[in-house]
Amino acid sequence: MLWGLVAVGVIGILLGFRVRAPALIVMTAVIVVFSAIAGGIGSLFAWDRLLSILLFVVTLQGAYLLGVFLGVVWRRAVTDEH
C-alpha cells in the first residue's frame, strides 16, 4: 500500500504541475474504480476498504495541490529570469 500511495502522490504532483482540475476529477474517478476493483468487489463496503480508497483520494488531491504550487513557483521563476 505504501508504494501505491507514493505512485498516487507522484501522479498528483505531475497532474498539478502540468494540467488542471478536469484531469484531477477524471484521475480521482480512476483511482476510486481501480481501488475498488483491486480490493475486491465483495469487500467494497468494508470500512478498511473505504478508508483505503479515501486515503488514496486524499493523497492524490493533496499532491495535486503541491504540484499546482510547484508549477506556479516554477513559472514565476522562469518568467522572472527573462
Residue pLDDT, tens place only, 9-44: 999 999 998 888 888 999 999 999 988 888 776 666
Of 34, 23, 29, 30, the residue nearest 67 (C-alpha): 23
CA dihedral for 71, 21, 18, 27, sign (positive or negative):
positive
Residue 41 or residue 79, greater confidence: 79
pLDDT, residue 54, reads 93
Average pLDDT, whole number, for the chain? 88
Give the pLDDT of residue 44: 61
Rounded CA separation 16/65 (Å): 6
